Structure 1
Amino acid sequence: MQLHFLGAADTVTGSRHAVDLAGRRILLDCGLFQGFKTYRERNWAPLPLPADSIDAVVLSHAHLDHSGWLPVLMQQGFRGPVIASPATCALAEVLLLDSAHLQEEDARRANRGGWSRHRPAKPLYTVQQARKALQLLKPLAPGRTAKVGGVQVELKPAGHLLGASSVRLQAGGASLVFSGDLGRGDDLLMPPPQPQLEADVLLIESTYGNRLHPLQDVQARLGEIIRTVVRRGGSVLLPSFAVGRAQALLLVLQRLRQSGEVPEDLPIVLDSPMARTATTLYQRHGRLLRVPPREVANLTDGVTLIETPQESLALMRSRWPKVIISASGMATGGRVLGHLKNMLPNPRHHIVFPGFQVAGTRGAQLVAGAASVKMFGEYVAVKAEVTHLEGFSGHADADGLLAWLRQFHQPPERTFVVHGEPEAADALRMRIQDELDWRVTVPEQGARIDV
């Protein structure tokens, strides 16, 4: 077996791991690099191996840092199947089409504004190219297996996000497990990740490898913030991932209303067509959630759903106190940028980031206390309050990752720590080595390792 680490090896983004096994080459995840420009520029580089040499892609889940590079891989010659859970296939369609649309729009805006160094600015891929890539998706239900030549592929629910899975590859008596992104045991929406019990080789994510989730009641804290802001005549903006996080926020806001912790008539606005579509998918796949069916069905009751750009602009002009959920979650694009530009200079408002912020994103800059942030070619002063509610994260923390690992019946022969910032990855490596006494490595970007 040979591993080639093509992404998420020195950072928490751009998940791509090539596995050569039993004469087949399988790419685990095909994600976009996000965050710092030096990482984003990797999205434009050709894969270090021929795309047409890849027999199949297996997606752990639909987040763009795991699925968002598929259209580029197809442009470079890949034509094989893309295996994923049914819910991941459904969400990937929403996310990839939205990603392509945003890239097209960003290129048009840059060309109109003249702030791109490229003439003309071009999208990484188009909506048409995303649609072609989506035709390669092949649903695989958890508990069933697919074959890529002599390699057997199996998925197990991993929590974290609707449809998210850990991946098991097996051939000729050798096995590899890829954790994907693991969820937490007390997630608002998703059940705990199911265990993988044995593997010769293990790839484990480390997003929260050096951190524990705060012992904080996020519902109570969000309710406190909303009440304070409403009293001073301001509004609360929740930059949110449209898939997963937006639905968790809707659930918490509905519970705050029902408990009387926030005014029942307080306007709650969802300004993200993609989040609206994703909420429908969460309701359609409600059996995969840990939430009672009634609550799933009522996620958008009494919520104003914004569709058109004109409605979004009208919302920005409204001065009535309200709670706005808008994408994207790390303020890297989308309608939330317009709301940030409108609200950041006003100290009455409060911006709440509910979850992990990748280094180099506007969200990371804001939660770190930036005095200004650049958007639409200009710098915007930060006068509004900014809070980071990490308790909304859908990732297992360091203790959660160790708990999942302890369920293996015996140590894997080799364990590789991926998908984490360098400090997080090395902290998890040390805990695995010291507490479990496993042979463990943090691979470098581009490393090719025989096992």
Structure 2
Amino acid sequence: MRMSFLGAAGTVTGSKYLLEHEGQHVLIDCGLFQGYKQLRLHNWDPFQLPVRELDAIVLTHAHLDHSGYLPVLARNGYRGPVYATAATCELVKILLRDSGRLQEEEAEFANRHGYSKHTPALPLYTEQDAERALKLLRPLELHHRVDIVPGMSIQLRCAGHILGAATVEVVAGGVTLVCSGDLGRPNDPLMFAPETIEHADYLLVESTYGDRRHPVESPEEQLAQVITRTAMRRGITLVPSFAVGRAQLLMYHLYRLLQRRAIPDLPIYLNSPMATDVTRLYQRFRSEHRLSQEECEGMCHVAHFVRTTQESINLDLQRTPAVIIAASGMATGGRVVHHLKALAPNPINTLLVPGFQAGGTRGAQIVAGAESVRIHGKDVPIRAEVVPMETLSAHADADEIMQWLRGFKQPPKHTFVVHGEPNASDVLRRRIGQELGWSVSVPEYRDSVELAPIDQPPHLPS
């Protein structure tokens, strides 16, 4: 079995790993590159092989850096199955439709206002392309081994992180490969802990937080302090948030804070039709998260769901304290960008920026202290209070990744550290080598390796 690293190698986005075995080609994850322009340009590159030679795709979870490239392949002729858990399939339906629609809207906006360097500006893909991709989804149950192509089988296990997220075990040619996907936290308030895996000949492990530990402070205490402080200034707390996972975690904590009367009784808005639809899936898939029925109901009803564009525009005219949660999580697009234009220049407001911000994104620039950010061809000053919040991450931190790795009964033949910025991946590589004594490396973009059977040495890139 040969594996090629087509994304999330040397960076934290664009997750794609191509497996080749006996003439069959399978792609593990199918993500978009995000962040720096030189990374985003890879989204326009020709695929590694003719699309019609690709036989199957497996998704670890629904986030766009793992699923958002599917419409490109579908538009270019891919007609094979896309395997994922049932919850992931439902989330992907929401995310890809929204992503296609958003890219069309942004291209149209750029053309109308003339700020694109390309004439005309074109979307990477359209909502129609997304619909093509959605017809290919094939839901799988956890813990059921399935033959996906001749000579290759997979099994999915719970990875925590977000609803539906899974680790993928691939068996082919006497070799077992485990792909961690994005690992959740063992004590996440919403999601169950990642399942322990005891055996792999080869392992792909994510390293998003491979060089750091999450703060021990209570996220609810930090939220309460920030929201109360902003409300006393008569300001608005704006929270850029991923529609899947983080928005729901925020609403859960806000529900608990209101129950305890730890924050003022102010309006809370969830300004993302996509996040609204996602939140309702938590009620449908109640057996796949920790929340009781009462907690799930409370989370789902704590915010006013903003549906229409006009409602979103009206929020920018809000003159009393409020909390606005809006996509996207790194402020790269969506409705939060328009709120930034309206709210960031005013020092009475707060920009509460939770979780990891990939390099090159507006969120990363804001957290780094940028005096202004470029939005729709104009520089928008950042005068609002900026509060980074690292206590809401759905990713395992470095210690929690190491804890998960210690669940293996014997060392994999080789471990590949992926899905992290260079420093994070390299720090985790060193820890795995020094503390566990495992054979480990950090692959580079477009590297290709031969996954030899257990009695032969692996053919690693030089």
Question: 2:324 corresponds to which residue?
Answer: 324
Aligned pairs for 1:162-173 within 5 A: 162-173=163-174
**CA shift in 2, pair 1:379/1:81, >3 Å:** same
CA–CA distance in 1 between the matches of 2:77 and 2:355?
36
Whether the 8 Å CA contact 2:269–2:303 is kept in 1: the answer is: yes
Aligned pairs for 1:108-147 within 5 A: 108-147=108-147
Aligned pairs for 1:260-299 within 5 A: 260-263=261-264, 265-299=265-299
User: Number of aligned pairs?
Assistant: 450
CA–CA distance in 1 between the matches of 2:146 and 2:36?
37
Question: Secondary structure of 1:71's partner?
Answer: helix
2:414 pairs with 1:418: no
| CA drift at 1:171 | 2.5
CA–CA distance in 2 between the matches of 1:126 and 1:232?
42
Question: 2:91 corresponds to which residue?
Answer: 91
Please, which moves more after superposition, 393-402 or 289-298? Answer: 289-298
| CA drift at 1:223 | 0.3
| CA drift at 1:143 | 1.1
Question: Secondary structure of 2:379's partner?
Answer: strand
Question: 2:230 corresponds to which residue?
Answer: 229
| CA drift at 1:22 | 4.5
CA–CA distance in 2 between the matches of 1:194 and 1:295?
24
Whether the 8 Å CA contact 1:22–1:151 is kept in 2: the answer is: no
Whether the 8 Å CA contact 1:190–1:288 is kept in 2: the answer is: yes
**CA shift in 2, pair 1:302/1:405, >3 Å:** closer
Whether the 8 Å CA contact 2:254–2:302 is kept in 1: the answer is: no
Question: 1:26 corresponds to which residue?
Answer: 26
Question: 2:178 corresponds to which residue?
Answer: 177
- AA paired with 2:59? L
Identity of aligned residues (%): 53
Whether the 8 Å CA contact 2:280–2:300 is kept in 1: the answer is: no
CA–CA distance in 2 between the matches of 1:126 and 1:20?
30
Question: 2:456 corresponds to which residue?
Answer: none
CA–CA distance in 2 between the matches of 1:411 and 1:39?
33
Whether the 8 Å CA contact 1:12–1:419 is kept in 2: the answer is: yes
Please, which moves more after superposition, 44-53 or 441-450? Answer: 44-53
Question: 1:439 corresponds to which residue?
Answer: 439
Q: Deviations over 1:379-407 (max 9, x none)?
A: 01110001111110100000111111110
Question: 1:343 corresponds to which residue?
Answer: 343
**Length-normalised TM-score, structure 2:** 0.96
Whether the 8 Å CA contact 2:415–2:438 is kept in 1: the answer is: yes
CA–CA distance in 2 between the matches of 1:301 and 1:11?
37
Q: Deviations over 1:220-250 (max 9, x none)?
A: 0110111111111111011100111000000
**Length-normalised TM-score, structure 1:** 0.98
CA–CA distance in 2 between the matches of 1:178 and 1:150?
18
2:199 pairs with 1:198: yes
The answer for unaligned runs of 5 or more in structure 1 is none
Whether the 8 Å CA contact 1:94–1:274 is kept in 2: the answer is: yes
- AA paired with 2:235? G
| CA drift at 1:106 | 0.4
4+ residue runs over 3 A deviation: none
| CA drift at 1:119 | 1.1
Whether the 8 Å CA contact 1:59–1:83 is kept in 2: the answer is: yes
Aligned pairs for 1:252-263 within 5 A: 252-263=253-264
CA–CA distance in 2 between the matches of 1:51 and 1:189?
38
Question: Secondary structure of 1:169's partner?
Answer: strand
- AA paired with 1:297? E
| CA drift at 1:78 | 2.0
Whether the 8 Å CA contact 2:200–2:412 is kept in 1: the answer is: yes
The Cα RMSD (Å) is: 1.0
Question: 1:160 corresponds to which residue?
Answer: 161
CA–CA distance in 2 between the matches of 1:331 and 1:145?
39
Whether the 8 Å CA contact 1:417–1:429 is kept in 2: the answer is: yes
2:32 pairs with 1:35: no
CA–CA distance in 2 between the matches of 1:156 and 1:23?
27
Whether the 8 Å CA contact 1:46–1:76 is kept in 2: the answer is: no
Question: 1:428 corresponds to which residue?
Answer: 428
CA–CA distance in 2 between the matches of 1:22 and 1:395?
35
- AA paired with 2:392? F
The answer for unaligned runs of 5 or more in structure 2 is 452-462
Q: Deviations over 1:381-434 (max 9, x none)?
A: 110001111110100000111111110111111111110001011111101110
Q: Deviations over 1:16-40 (max 9, x none)?
A: 0011235422111000000000000
Question: Secondary structure of 1:298's partner?
Answer: helix
Whether the 8 Å CA contact 1:22–1:171 is kept in 2: the answer is: no
CA–CA distance in 1 between the matches of 2:278 and 2:138?
20
- AA paired with 1:363? G
- AA paired with 1:168? E
Q: Deviations over 1:179-220 (max 9, x none)?
A: 000001121210110011101111111100101101111100
CA–CA distance in 1 between the matches of 2:240 and 2:36?
19
